[in-house]
Amino acid sequence: MEKKMTGADMETRFNPQAIEAELYKAWEESGAFVAHREEGKKPFTIVMPPPNITGQLHMGHAMDCILQDAPIRYHRMKGDPTLWLPGTDHAAIATEVKIVEAMRKEGLTKQGIGREAFLERAWNWKKEYGGRIVHQQRKMGVSCDWSRERFTMDEGCSKAVREVFVRLFEKGLIYRGQRMINWCPACRSALSDAEVVYKEQASHLWHIRYPGADGSEGVVVATTRPETMLGDTGVAVNPADERYTELVGKKVILPIMNKEIPVVADEYVEMDFGTGAVKMTPAHDPNDFEVAQRHNLEIITVTNDDGTMNENAGRFAGMDPMECRKAVVEELEKLGLLVKIEDYSHNVGFCYRHENTPVEPRLSEQWFVKMKPLAEPAIAAVKEGKTKFVPDRFSKIYYNWMENIRDWCISRQLWWGHRIPAWYCEECGEMTVSREDPACCPKCGGKLHQDEDVLDTWFSSALWPFSTLGWPEETEDLKYFYPTSMLVTGYDIIFFWVARMIFSGIEHMGETPFETVLIHGLVRDEQGRKMSKSLGNGVDPLEVVEEYGADALRFSLVMGVSPGNDTRYSTEKVEAARNFANKVWNASRFVLMNVNERKEFEVSKLETADKWILSRLQEAIRDVSDHMEDGDFGLAATKIYDFAWSEFCDWYIELSKSRLLGEDGESKETVKAVLLFVLENLLKLLHPFMPFLTEQVYKYLPETEGFLMLQKWPETNAELIFSEDEQRMQGIMEIIRTIRNLRSEMNVAPSKRTRLMLLPAEGWSETLRGGDGYFRRLAGASETELLDSRDTVKEKTVSAVIAAGELFIPLGDLVDFEKEIIRLGKELENLQKEMNRSRGMLNNQGFLAKAPAALVQAEKDKLEAAVAKAAALQNRIAELKENV
RNA sequence: GGGAUUAUAGCUCAGUUGGUUAGAGCACCACGUUGACAUCGUGGGGGUCAUAGGUUCGAGUCCUACUAAUCCCACCA
């Protein structure tokens, strides 16, 4: 057994680097993070949003970590069976893009090495980067249950994916079909609507004449993408548009291709945009596709998988779209069919993994999830409050998306991911969708090949809250921990992830997966810009941890942050948090250098200051607990900060010094016991935010065993609330502040001690007598004299009127009565303003009649005090005037 | 086009259900080697809470309008 350490062993500075790794190891090895089911007790469960295995953790992840670890540690200390389930996501597209990029540097291609070899590389990648991420999370101090760590492509999760796919297919909620989808030429894959990011682009509107087939002048169409005309199969106008009534039903000539195409009338066309005539490219525009369906227009695809023009584009085949656009425009100009070019700015969709690659709407055979039937109960669940968004406004965003949802394209033309469990018979063409890999065609016994595509990565993430607990098996964990308590995530993935988990949970588990969804904002840089690779303004959380410690980073990310709002990262904030950690460390050091045994205090022996700090502690416990419950971690952290620094350190510790050095043994014992009691409670309150610091300090506390992280969360104790003593203490504090203030104003050197005379107000004599040591220690008083009446003040003094009475500091020749009169006069003036305000309120019948009685009384008391103070000030001024 | 958020001290931001002298950190000024801490202490300066109305006995807080910034959704070619 190692020797118990004491305050004397503590360094003068908190040194996080020296202790973090060791503490984390000790926690983890002891099994403190592992969740245990306790029947009859309601668990607190969070499934961690699995970081992508694409690279390393960024500030957003750090934010995720602290916002989950804080409530997890809080609930664990409260004694709830607590599970925080970690894991990582295979991130199909994102990872594949990275791997392909890495391979390109080696001169390799996917196709070159083949599917099997590629997947081997991918698994190696997962091992390396998945491991790195988990390592980084540990550095942040996350207290998650690593024994339950999962990966979206591990055996269990893959089984869940397969089960869900087959179930939905059997229910008719998954189907395969030719639809207009978003195609990323860089991924060479389909994307879902959510994976397209629109960006405003400056462009042009080209006006092109399509001559009439009968030799008439035909029609002028306007387009933003002239190259797509190669795939045009019609022109549409609004049926009500009189300009074109004649033309409807006739044919025009598609220039360059020299092909006759029909003019059709369709409501979709807006008469007042462009020329009122729209070229129809059904294979490359969703709206055109719909029009084509209604009018039986031909559908011609003119691009390849990689975005280049295909053989249908005739002599433009092989060009990339921009090249082709230029060539087409030139050609049209030559033909005299380019009527005009207008400047035009419009939104262009880009791939969310290839920021500079525009997505191409394209007709393609893909797999889809039918969303309407899944969305409806998911909307209802949130409306009924079964899942609550915090802050509530995010439920509106959720409704808006869910109510306008379109079918979800889930197939991706990638290799890294869950392969679609569909097989096609090479003999009869029959499609088989199956939980188990079939050996041959169930219909004809013919040879099968599996669908080449994999699933959208979000298909497996959608199952995360239950697949990680063992579903589709009915495991004990699943029964006990589902539905989970809370999901913590950024608003940027509400559509991608949160919404999909909610409808999946309802569909497959019959219950929404979370009680609350706590949404946080983005961590931005110091100028408020989004942190991004391309800007190079990202800050690596690990570097911050190295330099300032995990606790400082954690605290800086929550302090003063309000739920749902973006926050700016700045080193100043981290420094402030680091300073706070050091402050707590040193306060602890002070306490522990003076207290080396654990003794209870007796309430009957408590002095005013003790009762004050114990009372303040009760309020801190209450507020912090309330804020933890509400998910207001910013307020919780602020409360702890203020209590620890402005009350415990600045006042109680300072006040304790005179007693610790004093002769009164009983007072000394009491103050020691209170110091230890308050410190220990403070450490507990702070632990969810600064786990390393608090755990380390806990080791030095006398007679403790085990980890702080497993100690009981403090509860308020009504017997330790002393309102009257709080007021007494406020009186003492006011005197100290006033003296400091006066000395500062009079330029009295801090080292110079001055006498203090106090004329107590009614009922304050006892308190002031007891304050002597405090005034000496904290206000530079050499001695304190209690006066019986003001007449006894014979010396030249500066004075002040405070709640506890009047105070006088004899400063001899430093005192200038004229200036004193002016100074006190100003104070009186302010006081009179305050009295006027107060009288105004109390003369207001409405206020008297409608405001709560306690408030009215409080105002009366305030006025009374002000009146008394004003009278005293007037007396003093009169007195001084006589002496001038 | 629809929706959301933000606007409070020089900067970054708090401010719980409306309760009446609006807070913090950083920055600034003055002073300070009192054995926990200079990653500190004491004192100070600094805001008509974007603007205009309204509700109320009372508005930073609620309502309406307006201005500005940011974001999300939709996508008229």
Give the Cα separation of A518 and A490 in Å (integer). 8
Calculate the angstrom distance between C1' of B68 and CA of A576. 32
Q: What is the pLDDT of residue A166?
A: 98
Calculate the angstrom distance between C1' of B7 and CA of A382. 31
Residue A462 pLDDT > 70, yes or no? yes
Q: What is the pLDDT of residue A565?
A: 92
Q: What is the pLDDT of residues A497-510, one digit of tens each?
A: 999 999 999 999 99
Calculate the angstrom distance between C1' of B6 and CA of A362. 39
Q: Residue A743, CA: closest nucleotide via C1'?
A: B43
Q: What is the pLDDT of residue A720?
A: 96
Give the Cα separation of A651 and A779 in Å (integer). 12
Q: What is the pLDDT of residues A270-322, one digit of tens each?
A: 998 889 999 999 999 999 999 999 999 999 999 999 999 999 999 999 999 99
Mean pLDDT computed over every residue of chain A = 94
Taking the C1' atom of B19, which residue's CA lies nearest?
A: A855
Calculate the angstrom distance between C1' of B55 and CA of A847. 16
Calculate the angstrom distance between C1' of B3 and CA of A564. 16
Q: Which ipTM was obtained for this model?
A: 0.96
Percentage of residues in chain A having pLDDT higher than 90: 86
A400 CB inside 7 Å of strand B: yes
Give the Cα separation of A607 and A275 in Å (integer). 88
Report phi then psi at A525, rounded to 5.
-85, -175
Q: What is the pLDDT of residue A108?
A: 96
Which of A485-489, A797-801, A827-831 shows the highest mean pLDDT? Answer: A485-489
Contact between A619 and A685 under an 8 Å Cβ cutoff? The reply is: no
Give the Cα separation of A679 and A385 in Å (integer). 40
Sequence-separated contacts (24+) of A115-124 with Cβ below 8 Å = A115/A415, A118/A415, A118/A416, A119/A415, A119/A416, A122/A95, A122/A96, A122/A415, A122/A416
Residue A1 pLDDT > 50, yes or no? no
DSSP type of residue A489: E
A570 CB inside 7 Å of strand B: yes
Q: Which nucleotides of B are covered by protein (CB under 7 A)?
A: 2-6, 12-15, 19-21, 23-26, 30-34, 36-44, 56-58, 72-77
For A232, the token pair is: 């045009």
Query: What are the residue ranges of helices labelled H in A384-424?
Result: 393-403
For A647, the token pair is: 């009350």
Query: Please, which pLDDT band fits residue A770 given cuts at 50, 70 and 90?
Result: confident
A12 CB inside 7 Å of strand B: yes
Query: Please, which pLDDT band fits residue A3 given cuts at 50, 70 and 90?
Result: low
Query: Please, which pLDDT band fits residue A793 given cuts at 50, 70 and 90?
Result: confident
Percentage of residues in chain A having pLDDT higher than 70: 100
Q: Which of residues 843-872 of A touch strand B (CB under 7 A)?
A: 844, 846-847, 850-852, 855, 866
Q: What are the b/e assignments for A397-406, b being 16+ CB within 10 Å?
A: bbbebbeebe
A193 CB inside 7 Å of strand B: yes
Q: Specify the range with the lowest mean pLDDT, choosing from A147-151, A446-450, A556-560.
A: A556-560
Look up tokens 């990582």; give the residue.
A88
The DSSP result for A781-804, as a single string, is: EEEEEE-SSGGG--S-EEEEEETT
Calculate the angstrom distance between C1' of B71 and CA of A488. 20
Q: What is the pLDDT of residues A741-766, one digit of tens each?
A: 999 999 998 889 999 999 999 999 99
A559 CB inside 7 Å of strand B: no
Query: What are the residue ranges of helices labelled H in A526-607?
Result: 541-548, 550-558, 571-594
Residue A863 pLDDT > 80, yes or no? yes
A222 CB inside 7 Å of strand B: yes
A396 CB inside 7 Å of strand B: yes
DSSP three-state, residue A189? strand
Query: Please, which pLDDT band fits residue A536 given cuts at 50, 70 and 90?
Result: confident
Q: What is the pLDDT of residue A249?
A: 93
CA dihedral of residues A105, A111, A117, A120 (deg, nearest 10): 70
Residue A806: its H or E element: strand A805-810
Q: Which of residues 402-441 of A touch strand B (CB under 7 A)?
A: 404
Taking the C1' atom of B18, which residue's CA lies nearest?
A: A851
Residue A884 pLDDT > 80, yes or no? no
Q: Residue A593, CA: closest nucleotide via C1'?
A: B36
Q: How far is CA A450 from CA A367, A426, A527, in A?
A: 14, 10, 51
Q: Which of residues 42-101 of A touch strand B (CB under 7 A)?
A: none
Per-residue pLDDT averaged across A431-444, rounded?
A: 95
Identify the residue with better confidence: A815 or A707. Answer: A707
Q: Taking Cα atoms as reference points, which of A390, A367, A531, A585 lies closest to residue A459? A: A367
Q: How far is CA A740 from CA A164, A754, A782, in A?
A: 72, 11, 14
Give the Cα separation of A85 and A146 in Å (integer). 7
Region of residue A522 (phi > 0: left; psi between -120 and 50: alpha; otherwise: beta): beta
Q: What is the pLDDT of residues A68-98, one digit of tens each?
A: 999 999 999 999 999 999 999 999 999 999 9
Q: Residue A7, CA: closest nucleotide via C1'?
A: B36
Q: What is the pLDDT of residue A867?
A: 92
Calculate the angstrom distance between C1' of B17 and CA of A318. 67
Q: Taking Cα atoms as reference points, which of A238, A235, A240 lies closest to residue A222? A: A235
A576 CB inside 7 Å of strand B: yes
Neighbouring-strand partners of residue A254: A259
